[in-house]
Amino acid sequence: MQMSNRTKNIIVPIIAVLLGILVGTIIMLITGYDPVAAFGALWNGAFGDSYFTGETIRQITPYILAGLAVAFAFRTGLFNIGVEGQLIVGWLAAVWVGVAFELPKVIHLPLAVLAGAAAGALWAFIPGLLKARFRVHEVIVTIMMNYVALHVTNYIIRSVLAESSDRTELVHQSASLRSPFFESLTDYSRLHWGIFIALICVFIMWFILEKTSRGYELKAVGFNQHASEYAGMNVKSNIIMSMVISGAFAGLAGAMEGLGTFGYAATKGGFTGVGFDGIAVALLGANGPIGIILAAILFGSLKVGALNMPLEAGVPNELVDIIIALIVFFVAASYMIRMFIDRISKKGVK
Amino acid sequence: MSFMDILVIIIPSTLLWAAPLIFTALGGTFSERSGVVNIGLEGLMVIGAFSAIVFNLTFDDALGAWTPWVSLLVAMAVGALFSLIHAVASITFRADQTVSGVAINLLAVGVSLFLVKFFYDKGQTDIIQKGFSKTDIPFLSDIPVIGELFFSNTYYTSFVAIFVAVIAWFIIYKTPFGLRLRAVGEHPMAADTMGINVTKIRYIAVVLSGALGGIGGGVYAQSISSDFGHATISGQGFMALAAMIFGKWHPLGAMGAALFFGFAQSLSIIGNSLPFLENIPNVYLLIAPYVLTILALTGFIGRADAPKASGVPYIKGSR
């Protein structure tokens, strides 16, 4: 029986995840660690008690947003590898607004969140403009913008926001996403309101792409630039628009970290990694809203659960990074998996 | 502080910081010239740095003064092996080359830190005892002025890097292999029609990029960081990628750009001790390589165009 493309699209990511876990297990067997204990510790570290569950959901929040950012650009045929940089500037902008003003919460919090989105959007606008105007490949520009973001935000934090210290003050209560209710519910984890913002954004992405004519244009440009141009669409403005929306999602991911998880911005020696993991989320989630949520749940639980592996099973938590990298790799090389599925299902016919 | 004194500080430091960038950027040049985008340079440097340090720590008693050089060869071999993953994914399995490169970066960091914890039970290795060290190059350092500026207090690896860049230029522009490499990167179907094995050439190019990226990481680890941890390689691979683009996919251009980026990096570190730079925030020097690359791509500093088939998997028979 030949499998339909739809079923294949669902089965391929599942096989990729299983292959990633399988290779991770083999690595543990070779290096003499106990895989059963390791995965047990991983599960306990992600869902073992309410504290860990809270932390897992907290981690899922930026993953959803970073995944949306990558996916939205993907759908328009653009590869936004600069989510990391857009996230960092969004983080800083949100915290800046959170620290600098004193306003009632109904104004202050939305303002800080939107500042994060705007900063991310601006940071993505540059590669979008360069792509549309000068046909410069967005991959390289966004990579370079990541490093510019890292160094510039470090500089601003050190010399403008914090008096020669490495982190800003805490954001005002009126701009904080922290939730005493969630904290009491989850044994004082850092779970905050951001998860709802992330879920709303999933809906926004679905709505823009599926229910608006702008979304239709964005997808059309992603499928075939020339055809869209002949159909009378403005390809350039759609490219810029796509990057701006994608950057806004990324900036929101940063705002969640700045206003929710940490409550401040600190200088960084390197990247947070969330932006790059967002690529993994989008790929595994096949750039669709439901897929992104599921993939973010998977990677969020893996990341948070991993922290428990050294404590409970003595296995380095980097094992999970290996598994995530392998999953990305297997999804990217899904041609291999598809060929394999085809071969098996053809045998079934004979 | 006289101008000469400043040059005596800056030039050796530039050469030191540029060497790993030159090697890695050359690796990127080979890969992209064949039509395979290699975002994974960063990961290849990580793997190179990791294997050089581990080998160095393990065998420094047995090998003595040759330790860093042998470790460099090991880094080269491991880098080449590791890049095979990228080659298989992006050439044989037609994966998106950028995604596969991202996977290489994630995998390299994961694998090397996992193994560091497995070998040493801690997050960072010890500091190596036998790294590359500053020397005066015999004879050349005796030349007046030039000898003091370029050949004193410097590292052999920097000159090896420049030498390799010249070899790379010769290979790419003066040998049949180089012609095939460029043909495959510009128009694989035409190359295929002329009887060139596109897959084979691309595999060789990607493995070369892995070998050179591995060397780049090994040089960095053994002459600059002296140990291996999660932050040892933080952006050098992407800076090498930038150097390759800024050098317009030309080996000597890449080398020049790498030297310039090395200069910017060393200024950002030693700038505080120089009279005319102490008041300039070093953020400008830190972001200079990246901003310049964006400007170069945009066409403000002479347009940079990638090889035409770069990033596109070659599928026999498709048009």
Question: pLDDT tens digit string along A222-257?
Answer: 888 889 889 888 989 999 999 999 999 999 999 999
**Domain of B283, in residue numbers:** 3-298
Domains contained in chain A, CATH given: 34-314 (1.10.3470)
In this structure, what token pair is assigned to residue B298?
Answer: 């945009």
Neighbouring residues of B272: CB distance < 8 A, sequence distance ≥ 6: B278, B282
> B70 — contact with chain A (CB < 8 Å)?
no
Report the SS3 class of residue A103: coil
> How high does pLDDT run on average in chain B?
89
Could you tell me the pLDDT band of residue A91, with boundaries at 50, 70 and 90?
Answer: very high
Q: What is the CA radius of gyration of chain B?
A: 20
Q: Is the pLDDT score of B297 beyond 50?
A: yes
Which B-chain residues 116-135 have CB contacts (< 8 A) with chain A?
A: 117-118
Cβ(B255)–Cβ(B21) below 8 Å:
no
- In this complex, the residue of B89, B95, B107 whose CB is nearest that of residue A322 is B107
pLDDT of residue B319: 61
- The mean pLDDT of A111-134, rounded to a whole number, is 95
- The mean pLDDT of A108-122, rounded to a whole number, is 96
Q: Which of A103-107, A196-200, B99-103, B238-242 has the highest mean pLDDT?
A: A196-200
Q: Is the pLDDT score of B273 beyond 80?
A: no
Could you tell me which of A43, A297, A56, A37 has the C-alpha nearest to residue A187?
A56
Residue B317 lies in a domain: no
Could you tell me the pLDDT band of residue A149, with boundaries at 50, 70 and 90?
Answer: very high
Residue B142 lies in a domain: yes
**B64 secondary structure, DSSP code:** G
Q: Is the pLDDT score of B234 beyond 80?
A: yes
**A102 secondary structure, DSSP code:** -
Got the DSSP string for A100-162?
Answer: H----HHHHHHHHHHHHHHHHHHHHHHHHHHHHHH---HHHHHHHHHHHHHHHHHHHIIIIIS
Phi, psi angles (nearest 5°) of residue A266: -125, 155
Which B-chain residues 88-107 have CB contacts (< 8 A) with chain A?
A: 88-89, 93-96, 98-100, 102-107
Residue B310 lies in a domain: no
pLDDT tens across B11-59, in order? 888 999 999 999 999 999 999 999 999 999 999 999 999 999 999 999 9
- Domain CATH number, residue B268: 1.10.3470
- In this complex, the residue of A328, A333, A334 whose CB is nearest that of residue B106 is A328
Q: Is the pLDDT score of A349 beyond 60?
A: no
Number of domains in chain B: 1
Residue B231 lies in a domain: yes
Q: What is the ipTM of this complex?
A: 0.88
- The mean pLDDT of A137-156, rounded to a whole number, is 91
Beta bridge partner(s), residue B135? B154
> B245 — contact with chain A (CB < 8 Å)?
yes
Q: How far apart are CA A131 and CA A14, in angstroms?
A: 34
Torsion over CA of B291, B293, B299 and B305, rounded to 10 degrees?
-160
Q: How close B61 comes to chain A (CA, Å)?
A: 26
